[in-house]
């Protein structure tokens, strides 16, 4: 009886402490009726956003290729650790991308001269299918929009367009989450009711929610705001709205392109070969084993990816196809890897977020390695508030190939680079743009002691840098667009800050390139018929989704 009494006392004591929801710091009540500090103490963990699968992070050998006939320094093996994250189950499809085009065209009608380049800048380049000595006009006119290709990976999208798609997807998903959770009313996200000056942006909502939907967010009160104001469900009166904050835990992190380390880690799918803290077995491709054909009884002899098997062999002999495709294939046509990801080898190669350099500097970083950080911050006006982009203040960028794309959209927060105030006396970073940090440029050049950063900015170091890429210029005058080609014979490389890494083989590549450790690069403003992309999202909170138990 004494034992039962002690256990019962402990149980009710724990229950009482939990139900009181008191702070361990002060003993004060959290979320009490008397106001004060509020926090989401019932947070269960990050939900898996639409289209994504969870990838538990870990350590792996990055850049380890089985075959390296070139013997270059582009795939030097190095040990890296990647945090847990989420990645698209499949490549972004034509159907997903045309949904983005439809929203953009509806909200920012291209008939309006002020918005014409928003829609045009988002359009994929369908001419990537054309070939000097090939008849591919069917794909040129049909591949993007015909329903027969709806579930095929989108191509003709450059790196900048892929990044903008990720931003758009972030806002649409979080808009739906806020509607589901009752922070905004149902139907508020309907594109039929939106206008160019009244759109939703996740970052703008978190920074200054009162300006969301063009300052009309209080007209879209959800049930949470109505309940807080003591109004009935059918009430149309407005009062102080209740906004979700980052501390609410309902707003998801941004969709983005995966880093090169994340993509390679996810493609390898080493989870199926884990034995305690070791990797047992060998994998050359995303599947088990070192061959491209399946050994399973049901699929024995079938190719496990869509790639080019040989000269003039893109799919095999008609009637019994080796991989079931001549160009791209429908997503999920092949078995997934151990993480549940489809087409991490073949079909289309994929953009990742990194700026390309021949080496991965694991001495500088072996945790979440990424080259491409350009740190920005919200632009603040004289009143101390974030500046929201309006239809009159849209910024456009003219790319090196003459294409015009919108840098930001109405409703988004204007961004500017961080300055000396943020970097003063810091040891982890000292400037906004870190793309060239320890990339072998200055220290590897025989002119390393002959010019400073000021000389570089003034152009006095041109022709002496290690990465001395051509600089084509696009300009405009009263006669139209002028393209000036860099015809200098002194250029030594194609590498610059506008060249991005892409990973994985495609329908157009031999098996050599479908090894996840292989890496290639392409200018961020150009597109091809064999490069697509998929999105990723960072994991917030615990490393794993479920508690680990010893075997």
What pLDDT shows up at residue 293? Answer: 84
Could you tell me how far CA 480 lies from the centroid of its own chain? 34
What pLDDT shows up at residue 318? Answer: 85
What pLDDT shows up at residue 15? Answer: 45
Checking 103-110 for CB contacts under 8 A at 24+ apart, the result is 103/168, 103/172, 103/191, 104/168, 106/191, 106/192, 106/194, 107/191, 107/194, 107/195, 107/196, 107/199, 108/196, 108/409
Gap between the Cα atoms of 38 and 30, Å rounded: 6
Q: How confident is the model at residue 105 (pLDDT cuts 50, 70, 90)?
A: very high
Distances (CA, A) of 551 to 273, 275, 453, 548: 15, 10, 56, 9
Contact of 436 with 237, CB cutoff 8 Å: no
Q: How confident is the model at residue 322 (pLDDT cuts 50, 70, 90)?
A: confident
Distances (CA, A) of 110 to 97, 113, 116, 360, 390: 17, 7, 4, 42, 17
Say whether pLDDT at 95 is over 90: yes
Give the other-Cβ count within 10 Å of 347's Cβ: 31
**Domains of the chain by residue range:** 50-164+253-362+503-545
**CA nearest to 31, candidates 231, 247, 218, 252:** 247
DSSP state of 436: T
Top CATH class of 50-164+253-362+503-545 equals alpha beta
pLDDT digits (tens, 9 = 90+) for 25-62: 888 888 766 666 788 888 888 999 999 999 999 999 99
**CA nearest to 231, candidates 189, 393, 239:** 239
Q: How confident is the model at residue 174 (pLDDT cuts 50, 70, 90)?
A: very high
Say whether pLDDT at 226 is over 90: no
The winner for highest mean pLDDT among 188-197, 364-373, 399-408 is 364-373
CA angle 63, 64, 66 (to 5 degrees): 135
What pLDDT shows up at residue 93? Answer: 98
pLDDT digits (tens, 9 = 90+) for 479-524: 677 888 888 887 778 889 999 999 999 999 999 999 999 999 999 9
Contact of 155 with 142, CB cutoff 8 Å: no
What pLDDT shows up at residue 133? Answer: 95
The winner for highest mean pLDDT among 289-293, 396-400, 412-416 is 412-416
Gap between the Cα atoms of 440 and 73, Å rounded: 13
- How much is the average pLDDT of 146-163? 98
Gap between the Cα atoms of 48 and 339, Å rounded: 14
Gap between the Cα atoms of 12 and 18, Å rounded: 10
What pLDDT shows up at residue 134? Answer: 94
């Amino acid at each position: 009886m004494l034992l039962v009494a002690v256990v019962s006392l402990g149980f009710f004591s724990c229950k009482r402490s939990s139900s009181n929801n008191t702070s361990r710091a002060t003993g004060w009540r959290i979320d009490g009726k008397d106001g004060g500090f509020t926090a989401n103490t019932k947070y269960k963990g990050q939900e898996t956003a639409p289209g994504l699968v969870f990838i538990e992070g870990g350590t792996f050998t990055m850049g380890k290729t089985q075959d390296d006939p070139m013997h270059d320094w582009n795939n030097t093996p190095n040990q890296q650790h990647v945090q847990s994250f989420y990645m698209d189950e499949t490549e972004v499809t034509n159907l997903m991308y045309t949904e983005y085009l439809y929203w953009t065209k509806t909200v920012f009608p291209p008939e309006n001269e002020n918005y014409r380049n928003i829609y045009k800048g988002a359009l994929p380049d369908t001419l990537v299918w054309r070939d000097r000595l090939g008849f591919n006009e069917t794909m040129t006119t049909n591949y993007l929009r015909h329903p027969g290709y709806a579930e095929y990976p989108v191509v003709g999208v450059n790196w900048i367009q892929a990044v903008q798609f990720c931003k758009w997807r972030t806002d649409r998903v979080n808009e739906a989450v806020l509607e589901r959770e009752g922070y905004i009313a149902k139907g508020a996200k309907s594109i039929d009711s939106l206008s160019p000056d009244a759109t939703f942006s996740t970052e703008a909502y978190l920074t200054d929610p009162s300006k969301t939907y063009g300052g009309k967010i209080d007209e879209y009160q959800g049930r949470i705001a109505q309940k807080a104001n003591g109004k009935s469900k059918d009430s149309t009166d407005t009062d102080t709205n209740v906004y979700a904050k980052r501390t609410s835990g309902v707003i998801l992190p941004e969709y983005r392109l995966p880093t090169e380390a994340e993509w390679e880690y996810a493609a390898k799918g080493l989870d199926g070969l884990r034995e305690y803290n070791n990797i047992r077995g060998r994998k050359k491709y995303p599947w088990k084993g070192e061959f491209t054909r399946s050994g399973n009884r049901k699929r024995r002899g079938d190719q496990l990816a869509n790639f080019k098997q040989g000269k003039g062999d893109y799919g095999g002999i008609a009637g019994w196809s080796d991989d079931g495709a001549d160009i791209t294939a429908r997503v999920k046509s092949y078995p997934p890897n151990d993480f549940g990801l489809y087409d991490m080898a073949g079909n289309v190669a994929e953009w990742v977020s990194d700026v390309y350099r021949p080496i991965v500097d694991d001495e500088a970083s072996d945790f979440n390695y990424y080259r491409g950080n350009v740190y920005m911050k919200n632009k603040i006006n004289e009143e101390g508030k974030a500046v929201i982009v309006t239809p009159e203040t849209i910024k456009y960028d003219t790319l090196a190939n003459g294409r015009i794309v919108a840098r930001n959209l109405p409703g988004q927060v204007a961004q500017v680079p961080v300055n000396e105030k943020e970097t003063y006396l810091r040891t982890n970073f000292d400037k906004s743009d870190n793309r060239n940090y320890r990339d072998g440029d200055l220290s590897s050049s025989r002119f390393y002691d002959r010019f400073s950063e000021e000389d570089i900015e003034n152009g006095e170091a041109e022709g002496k840098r290690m990465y001395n890429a051509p600089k084509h210029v696009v300009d405009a005058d009263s006669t139209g667009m002028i393209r000036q080609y860099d015809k200098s014979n002194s250029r030594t490389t194609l590498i610059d800050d506008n060249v991005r890494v892409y990973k994985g083989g495609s329908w157009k590549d031999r098996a050599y390139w479908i090894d996840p450790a292989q890496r290639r690069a392409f200018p961020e403003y150009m597109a091809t018929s064999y490069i697509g992309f998929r999105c990723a999202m960072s994991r917030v909170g615990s490393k794993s989704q479920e508690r680990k138990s010893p075997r």
